[in-house]
Structure 1
């Protein structure tokens, strides 16, 4: 049973030692005769302070701001008092002060949220995604140091202004373009949504922030370009190997991480008695089953005894993503293709030139790519002008009888 307690709030000023004509404003909390003081970090002239009314006298803008601060602080302290009563806490002046300053255990910090996300998601998220979150975390902590001169902050202090400030900070970083910036903001929004779900914050300050991604031209090879790369004689064996694995991806639609993770046991006999690849997408863990087309099967056979593949027990002797993309740029230069070639170009080429342009239904292409939504695959369908032309020609034939 709680005993009756006296709770009072008052305000006073304390003169500065080096400037006695100025005073610093304080709030004093009193519970059953025990007192605790909180500096409100406001300075005002001593001769304009009325201790009886606990107000700053006059009608100036300064007086208005100081008196407004007093009203807000009084209201906030009473709310904290009522909240602690509802929580059935033993009320003390120290507890009320720490709750006001955000130093009690009720309030979590941004670093605690980042640590929680890192520990909990370490086994859920893929390495690449975790790496991206680490970069976003670095930017967030740098922003705190630059803008707020601190290494951490309470989540309750993060507001919409903080969100816009973080966007502005990222915008001033050299080499970070809009879509990269928006990916960091997207991860920040997910972090704050996690804090909201954990009940670490009452209101998500990033909810009103709208992500604004620029549309990006999809790079894929035409039929002529694909044949040109496939048939070109490359004297350098390293370039030849990387070109071949790129071609393998053009005929399977697999992303770099999926090709790298392929082992010999991923090669199985499918329902039609032919060789298929049975695997899961590294990005989404979605099961994927791909019938092997002849060019892809030829490349597997070509490198099945390669020392690098044997050592790693992998299906193909693939280099790192960075080196692969570097070699592909050299290949494009030698073949005289002016497109910005990367390994992901192969996946786009499979979706467009190899499958959709040859009349493979979009539902089938979606399954082969491991997409969970058909709308994701429809992006590829929009760029196939040749298929549109062919479909309309068929329509013209039908309409002409």
Structure 2
């Protein structure tokens, strides 16, 4: 684990003919050199094979014991730091062993990293590269860490090298069972995992800026508990599409919902689309070209006939491609739409996005990679969940067939 090579500096020979002994100490990628504060003549150093041979002179036995003690001290200290999940700094260990405290550099705290990250993220929000909602999640993540530090440790901040396995375990426990938000105690598993993902992202930002040397949140091993996404079948989609509402707000909600069913855009992305996002290629096909506000990932989607009819229906009536409506109102009105169409599902705006991924695209043979690109997913794994949902649906259908023909 710790390697030490001893050598003498013959160029620093003293008047009595003795030379100082030095040690070169290595641990992983770190290497330091230090004087061991012992001296020996070049002749005796070579004669004893660098003090490796059996020794007869008392002085040389004392020197050898000193060298062995030095190695033992380094090994003990390194092992202790590893057990504590703390940063191993060989220079700091050296100064501690020789009794001369190392000059303390200004230690950056966990909340300092959050502040730097969130300030940089705010600039991206200001120019429209990222969403204000995403920034709010990072701010909330910082507040949770701040609350945890105050309640569990009585601290206003904590150095990154003190964020160890015990800290991670206690933080997870605090989030799950003790944190209070709007009168509700505890946070559910998936939200906890997402908060830890934010913690990791912030510290990775610190790594990128070389403000820290490790990401302590890589120790967290929690996983999302994936639930089947609610989506509409082709029959249910047709029901909504054919239904004519004589109440203007419901007709408008229906059109916004269908637009998302046939484009896959999330609420915040759908609301931000304008004529500038519409292009027509050389073949005469219309496309919507944009970057997802949440992730900044390009998500270009061909305009299917239903979506195109909705765009033309509302053209020139508002700034965007489709009418604007808050997420809260949209979800409330969708409950009415579901009831009036005889659909026994909890319709939300995100059901439209799930429907695009399953019924509209994957269910019609569109390649998984292409669906992932159109939805603006950062990797195909996010899209694979929808494929599994479809597999489950196929299995249910085949069971019904088995019952019919058995």
With normalisation by structure 2, the TM-score equals: 0.65
Partner of 1:119: 119
Deviation at 1:270, TM superposition (A): 2.2
Query: After superposition, where does 1:174-323 map in structure 2 within 5 Å?
Result: 174=185, 176-306=187-317, 309=318, 313-323=319-329
C-alpha distance 171-202 of structure 1, shift in aligned 2 (>3 A) = same
**Deviation, structure 1 residue 80:** 4.2
**Alignment partners' CA distance in 1, 2:186 and 2:315:** 41
Equivalent pair of 1:242/1:318 in contact (CA under 8 Å): no
Contact 2:263 2:307 in 1 (8 A): yes
1:357 aligns with 2:368: no
RMSD value, Cα: 3.4
Q: Which residue of 2 aligns with 1:16?
A: none
Aligned to 2:51: none
Per the TM alignment, residue 182 of structure 1 is displaced from its structure 2 partner at its CA by 0.8
Q: Deviations over 1:133-183 (max 9, x none)?
A: 111111111111111122222223222111111100000132621100111
Query: Equivalent of 2:172, from 167, 174, 183?
Result: 167
Q: Aligned match of 1:376 in 382, 401, 406?
A: 382
Whether contact under 8 Å (1:362, 1:378) holds in the other structure is yes
Of residues 138, 142, 157 in structure 2, which corresponds to 1:152? 157
Instruction: Kindly state the Cα deviation for residue 247 of structure 1 after the two structures are TM-superposed.
Output: 0.4
Return the alpha-carbon distance in structure 2 between the equivalents of residues 387 and 151 of structure 1.
51
Instruction: Give me the whole-angstrom Cα distance separating, in 2, the residues matched to 1:331 and 1:105.
Output: 62
> Conserved in 2, the CA contact under 8 Å of 1:268 and 1:278?
yes
The residue that corresponds to 1:110 in the other structure is: 110
1:305 is paired with a residue of what secondary structure? coil
- The answer to whether the aligner puts 1:134 opposite 2:156 as a matched pair is no
The alpha-carbon deviation at position 350 of structure 1 amounts to 1.3
Could you tell me how far 1:240 is from its partner in structure 2? 1.9
- 1:286 shift after superposition: 3.2
> Structure 1 residues 384, 232: closer, same or farther in 2, change over 3 A?
same
Distance (whole Å) between structure 2 residues aligned to residue 377 and residue 142 of structure 1:
35
Task: Assess, with a 3 A threshold, how the Cα gap between structure 1 residues 112 and 352 changes in structure 2: closer, same or farther.
Answer: same
CA positional deviation for 1:130? 1.2
Structure 2 unaligned regions, length at least 5: 1-79, 81-87, 125-129, 180-184, 399-406
Q: Which 10-residue stretch deviates more, 271-280 or 193-202?
A: 193-202
Q: What is the deviation of 1:269?
A: 1.6
Instruction: Please give the alpha-carbon distance, in whole angstroms, between the structure 2 residues aligned to 1:200 and 1:84.
Output: 24
**1:107-127 C-alpha deviation (Å, 9 max, x unpaired):** 112232121111223234432
Asked if 2 retains the 8 angstrom alpha-carbon contact of 1:261 and 1:314, the reply is yes
Deviation per residue, 1:249-291 (Å, 9 max, x gap): 1111222122111111222222321332222222333333333
What SS does the corresponding residue of 2:290 show, helix, strand or coil? Answer: strand
Question: Helix, strand or coil for the counterpart of 1:288?
Answer: coil
| Paired position in structure 1 for 2:69 | none
Does the 8 A contact of 2:268 with 2:293 survive in 1? yes
Aligned length: 301
